[in-house]
Structure 1
Amino acid sequence: MKYRGVLLPLVAIALAALPLVSADWQFKSRPDLAPPRLNITISATADVEKGYLFLAPFAGFPDKAREQHGPRQAAPYILRDDGDLVWSGYGYYSIWATNFQKARWNGMDVLFSFEGDHNAGYGHGHGHTTILDQHYETIRELRAGNHKLTDKHEFHVINEETALIQVYQPVPRDLTRWGASPEQQWIVNAIFQELDLTTGHLLFEWSSLSHVSPSESVLPINPGQAGSGFNSSDAWDYFHINSVDKDTSGNYLISARDACSVHKINGSTGDIIWRLDGKKSDFKLGKGVKFCFQHHARFVSQDGDEEVISLYDNSAHGTEDGRGREVHTAPTSSGKIIKLNTRTWEATLVQGFYPPDDLLSKSQGSTQLLPNGNALVNWGSEGAVTEFRADGTPIFHAYMDSGFLGEGVENYRGFRYNWTGLPNEVPSIVLLESESGGTTAYVSWNGDTETAVWRFFSVADEAGSRSFLGEAKRTSFETELVVKGGRVEGVVADAVDADGKVLTTTGVATVELAVEPPKLSLDTVARGQQVFFQA
């Protein structure tokens, strides 16, 4: 039985042990922004790769015990290692967004993210990919070819010219030979496409049902752990492609989550060159190689008979066996680098990256190999990210904002990139006066990475004559300056880069009375917050 919408006389029980908390008012100059806060359990060491964290946290799928609460503003974010905000994509990507990355296209750095519908229960989405330039302006929206819908799982730029995407395509078929009843007629044809980034033209398309039998699935149609096949919304997702890569020879690498296997595909014929793991593996698996329900397979290197790939090994799916126990194939999830020899047909583990807190993610995840040899592993449904040295030593570990009343944040993939942001928008500035008479100016510029110093000036008249008030080094998203020497009517600020160049100037901020964020009492929460329970 489910109990939903239970208002809180019960909240006192849940919150009795918690301290009173302030409203989520992180920035005086941008009170509209409420980015996730990182709970950092291993602070970044000097060994971490240079660059920012690229994350897109969202509310997780509810568990059996309670409704989970995700980040206050689910969106793509660029963050520093200390959790400080660089850019909030809230409002730029206006619907559900995931797989947020940086790429290069036409010789310039760009941002991209999937945005569209999210079906958390079946692990797919339908939408398109939106590309932004360094000014955070939309320059391209890319959609699938052949009258199909882009799925959330993959968008991967190849050689700055093409993009690999994945399509979730339910089709009707006679499935009785695989244990279905005559009424169970729907199966997912897992498709990937390669598109020209500039024109959107379809260059290559591959479909699983043309090359892979449903008998290779590790999740049978009954009891319906990957869909029961009764209708197109409940189609049996027997293969489930969640990543695609392409090598310099024009061949593809795909991860098939529900077959627990990685396939190399001939880029001309679409034939399968080899399978790694799963029911029909072409390789003998060495110690530590075996994986299941994996994500984010990528080519690392190729040299003659030897190929190296990386992947994220979930080793869990969230489904249950016949005795009600969740299925998992290893104690924890992990990032892996695997060497394949196509002469001896042996697969060996080069390096494994294992979570500091024994995390086991039932969905999502990624392993990014960084330029300095480190690896950034994103733990998917566990809402955490870790950077490792090449030897597997964790040197940074953080959990993403968990919102109100506990857990619930997930993040499909996580990355680290160097990035230069040059926003077109005008910086935001406010001038707040306290009840005691002190005045402070606050300024921020969402997405800016180049400002080194903010210089503040009072504005005395309509002609715009300015008097220097002082300057403050920019060390975080928001910079403040206490105004000395009496009350001022208006303030502007110049953003100055490391070379002393003025990048832009704010508008004029006039004095407002500062208001302290209120404290939330248990009574306030009980009157204003609903908590949902499932039993």
Structure 2
Amino acid sequence: MSLLLWYLFLCSVIALDTSNDDDMITYITLPQHRVLKWNVTYYDRPDLEVAPGYWFVAPYHLNQGEPKTNRWTPCQIGPYIFDYKGDLVWAGSCEFNNQNVYDFQVVDTIDEKPYLTMLVQENFANRESDGSAIIYNNEYKLVHSVPRPGATIDNHEFYLKEPPNALLITHKNEDMTLADFGHPERQVSIRTNGFIELDINTGKYLFEWFSGDHITLDESFTLNPNDRFLDVDYLHMNSVDKSTNGDYLISARHTNAIYLISSQDGQIIWRLGGKKSNFEMDFQFTGQHSARFVSQNSTHIIISFLDNGATFMAVNEPTSSAMNPARGNMQTLSNTNVLVSWSYYGYMSEFTHDGQLLMDASFASERFSTYRAYKFPWRSRPVYAPTLLSSCYGVNGSALSTVFHVSWNGATDVQRWRFFARANATAVDREIGEVAKNGFESSFIASGFMDWVSVQALDSEGNVLGASGVLRTEPPEYWPGSVSGLVPDDPAAVYGEEPVQLPVKFGAFSGLFMGFVASTIGYFCFPVVRRLAPLVQLRYSCDGTYEEELGLMKEKV
């Protein structure tokens, strides 16, 4: 045990970064990424269930984007998919070079197939463009990119409610007078908002609306006419939706109001909240986000939105969740549960329709937030192959072992991994073992020096979903003398003529420990430590069913 502790200590020293990264995780098969860890709590509600689905988030550090640097930076900002335990399903940050991504979600209204949509922010050093609106299919292939014209489209909304038509929020600066405040002689620059509905195939605007023509400056709670210098975002729109009859619902944070806009002439049909509300209200809200139509008929409209104006009075655990003065969203889920994203630190909660708290989750790091978070069903079999890495460990030909690490970034249906090896480059593949998928990355240890190796991804019924190519196993870099004398084992000789299915499965940390033991029999040196240091960053998660996880209730996973 003391030797193992010494080894882990040395690894931690070697892997030490200039910043604290114990809230991140690194995978052997995903070396360019540092992925956020989660704190997850499920509450004791045995008669209630959380909705099925995966979490769709897009962590960022700086709202205006990351500064450009010549120094290598790990991929950690951008779109991610996680399962209900917080285990990684898909990491997409390298796809967009660590640029901020907003409103990352699933839409299933395009040819009745699921797609991923998001807004990608251009690096803030390049202000020629604000980035693009992106659509991926469920194989993670880019199928559409909608260039955003200049700096007129902001990062709040990209909503394909009626494809190919998309809703986006716009902004521009306008010279306006302060006549609404009794100063018609004073002209100032005001940031105004609007929205567009466009055809993503042609780029044609189908409807365009701007607030300056309809919402007066005195509705704003942020504009002070006595300020000497004014360059004010007086409205700050943060969502737009479209009703079944074609009218538009917008939310404006800085007027504390929600507006229904006519699709016929752009006039305001009604205001809810704010200084000029058309309704008598027995409640108040401020700074709201994510206004959405829920249902509508000839006499009634039901909408939902996130009220960012709660006042902290007291905490009632475990029924309380979180508060957030800015950003965030709420989403009605498939089983009528509600998911609320509180934005800061990735905090989100799932409630029953009548308000009972079922789940809390947040990033382990307080350095990152997500503008919105969603939960959707999702199935994917990526077009690219699973990633497999294998290395041989041992000294002087004794107790050689081959350690495998495998993952398939974005695949959702993999349940098991089946491993193969060959005696030489042209020999027949021999099955050498099979293990259950364990989190994002799984490990397997084979006896002997297995070379020319490959892996198959299997679903719950044993069907092959995908396979890696055949690759060579990396020999021990500390092998005395030349590795040319190291001869791979014949898998048929090690495991018998008939393929053998091994009953043993290893988690990531177990694989690390067994590899370490095999590597240090009779010999230990610094290069071994340096070689295996990244392994200690692997997250170990229990191989349990969903019901078993819920049985833990208030335990963190």
Q: Specify if TM > 0.5.
A: yes
Could you tell me whether the CA contact under 8 Å between 1:59 and 1:74 is conserved in 2? yes
Equivalent pairs: percent with the same residue?
31
Shift in alpha-carbon separation, 1:80–1:391, aligned structure 2, 3 A: same
Correspondence list, 1:314-333, <5 A = 314-315=308-309, 330-331=311-312
State the one-letter code of the partner of 1:409.
F
Alignment partners' CA distance in 2, 1:150 and 1:438: 56
Counterpart residue number, 2:219: 216
Alignment of 1:287-306 (within 5 A): 289-306=283-300
8 Å contact kept, 1:428–1:506:
yes
Work out the CA distance in 1 between the residues paired with 2:43 and 2:437: 21
Deviations 1:512-532 (A, max 9, x none): 555134989xxxxxxxxxxxx
CA distance in 2, matches of 1:53, 1:44: 21
Match in the other structure for 1:173: 176
Q: CA separation of 1:118/1:391 partners in 2, compared to 1, >3 Å: closer, same or farther?
A: farther
CA distance in 1, matches of 2:263, 2:214: 13
CA distance in 2, matches of 1:188, 1:143: 22
- Deviation string for 1:273-319 (max 9, x for gaps)? 11000000111112xx311111000000113322111101111xxxx
Cα distance in structure 1, aligned partners of 2:262 and 2:178: 28
Matches of residues 197-208 of structure 1 in structure 2 within 5 Å?
Answer: 197-208=200-211
Encode CA deviations 1:12-60: one digit per residue, 9 max, x unaligned.
xxxxxxxx98695532222222111111133697611111000111115
Q: Does 1:502 align with 2:464?
A: yes
Which of these residues, 408, 413, 436, is aligned with residue 445 of structure 1? 408
- Over aligned residues, Cα RMSD in angstroms? 3.2
Among 85, 108, 112, the alignment partner of 1:107 is 112
Q: Check the 8 A contact 1:57/1:74 in 2, yes or no.
A: yes
Is it true that 1:266 corresponds to 2:262 in the alignment?
Answer: yes
**For the residues of structure 2 that align with 1:390 and 1:22, how far apart are their CA atoms?**
36
- Superposed, which structure 2 residues align to 1:188-267 within 5 Å? 188-221=191-224, 229=230, 235-267=231-263
1:513-532 aligned within 5 A: 513=476, 514-517=531-534
How far the C-alpha of 1:504 sits from its partner, in A, is 2.1
Q: Report what 2:50 is aligned to.
A: 48
Determine the C-alpha separation between the residues in 1 that align with 2:242 and 2:175.
30
Amino acid at match of 1:49: A
- The reply to whether residue 131 of structure 1 matches residue 102 of structure 2 is no
Q: Please name the residue that 1:470 is paired with.
A: 433
For residue 188 of structure 1, what is the amino acid of its counterpart?
R
Equivalent in the alignment of 2:506: none
CA shift, 1:223, in A, is: 7.6
1:75 corresponds to 2:84: no
Matched residue, 1:413? 372
- Aligned AA for 1:494? Q
User: Letter of the aligned partner of 1:172 in structure 2?
Assistant: D
Residue 60 of structure 2 aligns with which residue?
A: 58
The number of residue pairs the alignment matches comes to: 443
Matching residue of 1:427: 386
- Secondary structure in 2 matching 1:515: helix
Q: Larger Cα Rg: Structure 1 or Structure 2? A: 2
1:312 aligned residue (306, 309, 320): 306
The 1-side partners of 2:87 and 2:313 are apart by 29
- Alpha-carbon shift at residue 96 of structure 1 (Å): 1.6
Offset, 1:128: 2.0
User: 1:157 is paired with a residue of what secondary structure?
Assistant: strand
Moved more, 105-114 or 205-214: 105-114
1:284 lines up with 2:280 in the alignment: yes
**Taking structure 1 as reference, are residues 176 and 434 closer, same or farther at Cα in structure 2, changes over 3 Å only?**
farther
| Shift in CA distance, 429/283, structure 1 to aligned 2, threshold 3 Å | same
For the Cα contact (< 8 Å) 2:32–2:75, is it kept in 1? no
Shift of the 169–457 alpha-carbon distance from structure 1 to 2, 3 Å rule, reads same
Secondary structure of the equivalent of 2:212? Answer: helix
Contact 1:332 1:359 in 2 (8 A): no
Q: CA deviation at 1:72?
A: 6.9
Structure 2: stretches of 5+ with no match in the other structure: 1-19, 65-72, 477-530, 538-557
Amino acid at match of 1:116: Q
Q: Tell me how far apart the structure 1 counterparts of residues 248 and 358 of structure 2 sit (CA, whole Å).
A: 32
Q: Note the alpha carbon deviations across 1:443-501, whole angstroms, 9 max, x for none.
A: 001011122221100122222521111111224211221213x2212321011223433
Q: Is the 8 A contact 1:165 1:192 kept in 2?
A: yes
Structure 1 residues 97-106 or 82-91, which shifts more?
97-106
Task: State how far apart, in whole Å, the 1-side matches of 2:251 and 2:427 are.
Answer: 60
C-alpha distance in 2, partners of 1:112/1:194?
16
Shift of 1:176: 6.5
- CA-CA distance at 1:360 after TM superposition: 2.8
Letter in 2 for 1:491: V
1:22 and 1:314, CA in 2 relative to 1: closer, same or farther beyond 3 A? closer
Q: Comparing both structures, which one devotes a greater share of its residues to helix?
A: 2
| Deviation digits for residues 393-416 of structure 1 (CA, Å, limit 9, x no counterpart) | 1111011131xxxx2321111100
Contact 1:368 1:415 in 2 (8 A): yes
* Alpha-carbon spacing, 1:236–1:108, altered in 2? closer, same or farther (3 Å): same
What residue number does 1:488 align with? 450
- Secondary structure of 2:416's partner? strand
Matches within 5 A, 1:380-399: 380-399=343-362
Work out the CA distance in 2 between the residues paired with 1:154 and 1:373.
23
Counterpart of 2:473 in 1: which secondary structure? strand
Q: Report the CA distance between 1:108 and its aligned residue.
A: 2.1
1:228 CA drift (Å): 5.3
**CA–CA separation in structure 1 for the residues paired with 2:38 and 2:182:** 46
**1:331 to 1:162, Cα distance in 2 relative to 1, 3 A:** same
What secondary structure sits across from 1:510 in the alignment?
Answer: coil
- Between the aligned partners of 1:76 and 1:151, the Cα distance in structure 2 is 18
2:36 counterpart SS class: coil
Residue type at the aligned position of 2:83 = R
Larger CA deviation: 502-511 vs 384-393: 502-511
The residue number in structure 2 matching 1:4 is none
Specify the alignment match of 1:9 in structure 2: none
Q: Write the deviation string for residues 123-168 of structure 1: whole angstroms up to 9, x where unpaired.
A: xx933211111111111111456x6632100111123331100012
How many Å separate the matches in 1 of 2:242 and 2:318? 28
**3-state SS, counterpart of residue 118 of structure 2:** strand
Counterpart in the other structure of 1:401: 364
Instruction: Decide whether aligned partners of structure 1 residues 400 and 163 sit closer, same or farther in structure 2, where only a CA change above 3 A counts.
Output: same
Q: Is the 8 A contact 2:28 2:535 kept in 1?
A: no
Name the TM-score, length of structure 2 as normaliser.
0.73
Take 1:434 and 1:363, find their aligned partners in 2: how far apart are those partners? 52
Question: Which runs of 5 or more structure 1 residues have no equivalent in the other structure?
Answer: 1-19, 63-69, 120-124, 230-234, 316-328, 334-352, 521-535
Does the 8 Å contact 1:127/1:150 carry over to 2?
no
The aligned residue for residue 8 of structure 1 is none
1:322-380 alpha-carbon deviations (Å, 9 max, x no partner)? xxxxxxx63389xxxxxxxxxxxxxxxxxxx9995563322211000011010000002
